[in-house]
Amino acid sequence: MTEHSTTPTPHDPHPVPESAVDPGRPGTAPDTSVLALFGQHPVGRIPVLDVQPVTDGGDRPTRSVVAELFTVSATVFREGHDAVNATVVLTDPDDVEHHVPMTQVNPGLGHWQTVVYADREGMWSFRVEGWSDPYGTWVHDGTIKVRAGVDVELMLEEGARVLERALDEVERPAEDRAVLDAAITRLRSSALTPEERLQAGIEDRVRQVLAASPLRDMVSGSRDHPWWVERPLALTGAWYEIFPRSEGATLDETTGLWTTGTFRTAAERLPAIAGMGFDVVYLTPVHPIGRTNRKGRNNTLEAQEHDPGSPYAIGSAEGGHDALHPDLGDWDDFDAFVARARQEGLEVALDLALQASPDHPWATEHPEFFTTRADGSIAYAENPPKKYQDIYPLNFDNAPETVYAQVRRVVQVWIDHGVTLFRVDNPHTKPVEFWQWLIADVAVDHPEVIWLAEAFTKPMMMRALAKVGFQQSYTYYAWRNTVPGLREYVTELATETAHYMRPSFWPTTHDILTPYMQTGGVAAHLVRSALAATLVPTYGIYAGYEHVENVNRPGAEEHVDNEKYEFKDRRWGQHVPGREDLGGWLTMLNRVRAEHPALHWLRNITFHAAEDENVLVFSKHGGGAHDGSDRDTVLVVANLDPHQVRSTRLHLSMPDLGLGLGWDDRFAAHDLVTGNRWVWDRSPFVRLGPGYGEEPVHIIHVTRS
């Protein structure tokens, strides 16, 4: 054997600790500090590897809401043949630990998992502990040897000693101690046969006691991984978007002049929004609007005298992001709007658009907040070939401390006036580290605040924004209009990114009107709202969707006569010949969502097959804790072709419908859209139309027949 010197020499700059060379001293663990020299973290006596779900190696928290179930998994194994086991340890905000046993899902390959949830909000953590299982080892070896007549007395005595250790080393209630005491006595009883003595040690009650409070040797834990638990609205909700200036706006047909809507007139719309079942009313910017380079109707570069301008060109002599447009009302009016919303059961979200018009007070008071070009002028916003001459983008690098502080102050103004959610305009054009700081700083005193990222951009940026704090994210849903596209994308959202990124599906917005929505008419609006409301837990509707507003500005994927540049009077509550009204449809969707907890969750989706490639089929079963969702299954069948009827046969994975259904079982299918009832098997035939009377969507409540 080669001798290893522990004395440093000029050629040995990193001496090897004595304990690392000869770690055999009883009661001492080897010094593993040397591993850091080679970039390694100790694996522990029982290796625990590949813990999931972990975000960026634990640098950012895994996310869930209260009662949301998700799976924790890890690879846990050991050398030799002794039994190994695993536990998830959850640490709550009061530093109290909760142990959840794990199950090996592929015996022999060491993959362990279990389902966990948090029962309250706050900063939690979780880790996986691997441990040697002396009782499991004895059960395996003792059963084989005793029944084979090998070392019978020795094995029975070893079993008794394992149970004695379980009594002495693990705290447990008196009734459980009595069970183990009785088993020890019987294991040592010469009046019983060897098989009877063995059974005393392996009977179900003994196994249950040891499973509830196991005897654990060589416990080795993974790192503690951060886990941020938030209120349910961070995952599940229905948003409704309005431009406050349009709610109550009227046109004088004689003069052609508009009277603007106000917070007071907009508040009169709130009962209807709440009546449709929405949870959040989202307001586009309500600040003063600049006059310099003001945009006119349909994004023209020259505004007419009475054109109101874009609310995204924020700031004028009347103030900036911390001020109200005087035409909308004063702070008493805004507070009254928020109070009315709360009275109707709605929370208020506000657009946070961090950009300024040339007239914004910041342009003169803080020119360092912007980028100055070579000619001394401030650079306006561009997204070539698009130009936004009425907007100056903020520069976060010239004076970061000052601009960070100003934005934080502005956000607090709106929180103090009752805003609990922020829809953030183009967050991908600002530094990620800024959002990480802002969201965390707000959460210290206001953890209830929810942030929605409007970032239609590259996947890595969308994911990064979610990782650093945005509770919800706009997605590519608007452009996913085929069965393969939706299946692939929603599967990604429900699995790969679900532990940190929560999607919000919007069929249209004030910026987006896809070709599918332009040409699909009523059927497109029916099916896309139904899918948005059922594929994921949070979705949003832009005002006017009820009227199937689907005419685009020529050459653009956005509405013509867009509210971004003018007033709009939708004449709510009035009958307009030839105009659609999908208000009842949206009310039905939100009622179904409220009544079926399976639709409140993201990670519980299963896709099924249809013979027609235009028919999307999926189900949601369970997914929550203590809310009845384990007994709730919803099956959705949708015709994605808005132009013609589709008839097809479905092929359902019956076990994935839950409720204990087998492949050959039949089930009761109650269509929540039409009220029709059928008895279906795994291959039902369906006919889905493109309009009323033959709806393009079945939303089926599945129960045992």
The tokens for 13 are 């700059």
Nearest to 694 by CA among 678, 674, 668, 664: 674
3-state secondary structure of 374: coil
Specify whether the CB–CB gap between 518 and 549 falls below 8 A: no
Ramachandran assignment for 644, one of left (phi > 0), alpha (psi -120 to 50 degrees), beta (any other):
beta
Specify whether the CB–CB gap between 295 and 303 falls below 8 A: yes
Specify whether the CB–CB gap between 535 and 605 falls below 8 A: yes
Fill in the DSSP letter of residue 345. T
CB atoms within 10 A of CB 491: 14
Distance from C-alpha of 407 to C-alpha of 322, rounded to nearest angstrom: 9
Complete DSSP assignment for 679-691: EE-SS-EEEE-SB
The tokens for 577 are 């010949």
Nearest to 477 by CA among 456, 452, 447: 456
Would you say how long the chain is, in residues?
705
Q: Is 322 a catalytic residue?
A: no
Distance from C-alpha of 167 to C-alpha of 350, rounded to nearest angstrom: 59
Token pair 């090998």 in the structure block, residue: 150
Continuous segment of H or E residues that includes residue 388: strand 386-388
CB atoms within 10 A of CB 283: 23
Specify whether the CB–CB gap between 133 and 162 falls below 8 A: no
Specify whether the CB–CB gap between 320 and 362 falls below 8 A: yes
Count of H-run helices and E-run strands, the chain: 17, 32
Q: Is 454 a catalytic residue?
A: yes
Distance from C-alpha of 107 to C-alpha of 209, rounded to nearest angstrom: 23
- Of the listed 247, 425, 580, 641, which one is catalytic? 425
Q: Where are the beta strands (DSSP E) in 199-354?
A: 217-221, 225-230, 237-242, 250-252, 257-259, 280-283, 347-352
Phi then psi dihedrals of residue 42, to 5 deg: -55, 140
Specify whether the CB–CB gap between 351 and 423 falls below 8 A: yes
Distance from C-alpha of 75 to C-alpha of 391, rounded to nearest angstrom: 52
Nearest to 446 by CA among 478, 406, 417: 417
Nearest to 142 by CA among 209, 85, 197, 218: 197
Bridge partners (DSSP) of residue 668 are: 679, 703
Q: Which residues contact 29 (CB under 8 A, 6 or more apart)?
A: 23
From residue 332, alpha-carbon distances to 236, 316, 324, 410, 464 in Å are: 31, 21, 11, 18, 38
Alpha carbon 288 to chain centroid distance?
Answer: 34
Distance from C-alpha of 279 to C-alpha of 284, rounded to nearest angstrom: 17
- Of the listed 176, 230, 279, 454, which one is catalytic? 454
3-state secondary structure of 522: helix
Q: Which residues contact 238 (CB under 8 A, 6 or more apart)?
A: 277, 278, 279, 280, 533, 538, 539, 540, 541, 590, 593
Nearest to 275 by CA among 675, 586, 599, 528: 586
Phi then psi dihedrals of residue 83, to 5 deg: -70, 145
Complete DSSP assignment for 609-625: EESSTTEEEEEEE--BS
Nearest to 86 by CA among 95, 96, 77, 94: 77
Residues known to be catalytic: 425, 454
